[in-house]
Structure 1
Amino acid sequence: MDWLKDDERLDYLLAENLRIIQSPTVFSFSLDAVLLARFAYVPIQKGQVLDLCSGNGVIPLLLSGRTRANVTGVEIQERLYNMAVRSILLNGLDDQIQMIHGDLKEMPSILGHAVYDVITCNPPYFQTLSKEVQNQNYYFALARHEITCTLEDVISVSAKLVKPGGKVALVHRPARLMDILMLLRHYKLEPKRLRFVYPKEGKEANMILVEGMKDANPDLKILPPLYIYTNENEYTEEVRELLYGKQ
């Protein structure tokens, strides 16, 4: 099989010793995807896990190293969907991971309600009303801006798809924290865990990791902060372990 097309390359997901197909002009995963895949609760032996806005399949691939459950990814961009499918086949994980090419807003009618134990999503971060401020690269624009789905779309759809007692985990920007918490509670996904991610000590948080539970009682836990870099601009010990595994 011809694994690579155009300007694509093969990279390692180092902690899992997996390979992933990436493209600098279409999509390459970033640290936020790794952090979400490590933050999310997943059942160890069995269950149903769903990843929305899957891109090139990085989060399903990462989750496969933590669980034997079935993992499904949903991606609206055909090129990224195709990259994800090839990466899954390349790693011999097609018995565990499947990809769906489609709009996440249509998933409740396709997949059903209250089906999944865990849902993850690394959604578009930016609210953009003007095309002038959207990224000029169409692939990047769809991945980064709320063009095909909004934050409310992600949360409302997740609330339909997840089982009672199931969990929904998101990575996002701190500027949207209040929107996220309000929408989670509105759609009966009670916020249960929240972690702030900082570039380094003394800097403002630039990412948040949030988990909600369907039909749960209020009990939000604020987890210890996660620092990405030391003052020497090297990865902290925790981040090195997340990326490369225990050395």
Structure 2
Amino acid sequence: MADEVLNGITLKAGECKEPLDDCGHVIIQHKDMYRFGGDAVALYKYARRFIRRDDKVFDLCSGCGVVGILLALDCGCAVGGAEIDGALFDMCVRSCALNGLDGSGYYNVDITTAIDMLPAAQYDAVVCNPPFFKADSKARTVAPAASSELTVTLDDVVKTAKRLLKAGGALHLVYTASRLDEAVCACYKHGLTPKHMTVNANGKTFLLRAVRGGKQGMTVSTEEF
């Protein structure tokens, strides 16, 4: 299949544009690569409750960029992110351009080795849909690093979030309930205080908001997502 040009942005062979809403916004995805799912959408809907128009938001492990792009379109916040996979990073930046967003705040880096090149204490919020399972788990065939900790761990994510966040800024995370204890411990280890948690009604996943330098005290709710 030949490359397609859409509004001056090139869609490469195997890529397609998919709608994000009813307003004509789209995102680039590849039929044979990682494609976002319900966890990413749940994270976006959760984070938008707390994010304001003038906030700066960083999307860790951003993949094709769907969480950050949806937040920018919905909330009017400035968004950037980090993604280790070069092809996904490229799709994210082009999706930003297709939607009239500035993609210059995205980094194609390995946060485990390049954390020091990321801006320190510059962001009001960090969002992340990290790999759920340990490196020795059975990874899925397509984009195995998206499901298992082959390139980044939960601890890496929380450590990087602390660097990025301003005092009072918050990490918003979607994660597997089987590792809830690890998520809470990692947040406390790196100076982020869990303040709010929403547990999926099916008991399999949860959404967490942890504030840099926050006071102890967390509320917990349950809903279907």
**Which ranges of structure 2 fall in alignment gaps of 5 or more residues?**
1-7
**Which residue of 78, 84, 91 maps to 1:76?**
84
Q: Identify the residue that residue 168 of structure 2 maps to in structure 1.
A: 165
| Secondary structure at 2:11 match in 1 | coil
Which whole-Å CA distance do the structure 2 matches of 1:221 and 1:62 have between them? 26
- Residue 206 of structure 1 pairs with residue 214 of structure 2: no
TM-score (structure 1 length as normaliser)? 0.82
Which whole-Å CA distance do the structure 1 matches of 2:150 and 2:40 have between them? 20
Query: Retained in 2: the 8 A contact 1:107–1:157?
Result: no
Question: Residues 184-223 of structure 1 correspond to what in structure 2 (within 5 A)?
Answer: 184-198=187-201, 204-223=202-221
TM-score (structure 2 length as normaliser)? 0.89
Which whole-Å CA distance do the structure 2 matches of 1:2 and 1:15 have between them? 21
Deviations 1:147-180 (A, max 9, x none): 1110111011111221111100100110010100
Which whole-Å CA distance do the structure 2 matches of 1:127 and 1:88 have between them? 31
Instruction: Give me the CA root mean square deviation.
Output: 1.9
Which whole-Å CA distance do the structure 1 matches of 2:184 and 2:97 have between them? 37
Which whole-Å CA distance do the structure 2 matches of 1:85 and 1:59 have between them? 13
Query: Retained in 2: the 8 A contact 1:120–1:169?
Result: yes
Q: Identify the residue that residue 31 of structure 1 maps to in structure 2.
A: 38
Question: Residues 10-89 of structure 1 correspond to what in structure 2 (within 5 A)?
Answer: 10-14=17-21, 17-40=24-47, 41-89=49-97
| Secondary structure at 1:29 match in 2 | coil
4+ runs deviating over 4 angstroms: none
Which whole-Å CA distance do the structure 2 matches of 1:35 and 1:80 have between them? 20
Which whole-Å CA distance do the structure 1 matches of 2:56 and 2:13 have between them? 34
**Which ranges of structure 1 fall in alignment gaps of 5 or more residues?**
199-203, 229-247
Aligned residue pairs, count: 217
Query: Retained in 2: the 8 A contact 1:196–1:209?
Result: yes
Query: Retained in 2: the 8 A contact 1:16–1:62?
Result: no
Query: Retained in 2: the 8 A contact 1:44–1:66?
Result: no
Which whole-Å CA distance do the structure 2 matches of 1:2 and 1:87 have between them? 9
Which whole-Å CA distance do the structure 1 matches of 2:197 and 2:152 have between them? 23
Letter in 2 for 1:73: G
- Residue 226 of structure 1 pairs with residue 223 of structure 2: yes
> Structure 1 residues 10-19 or 56-65, which shifts more?
10-19
Which whole-Å CA distance do the structure 2 matches of 1:164 and 1:210 have between them? 18
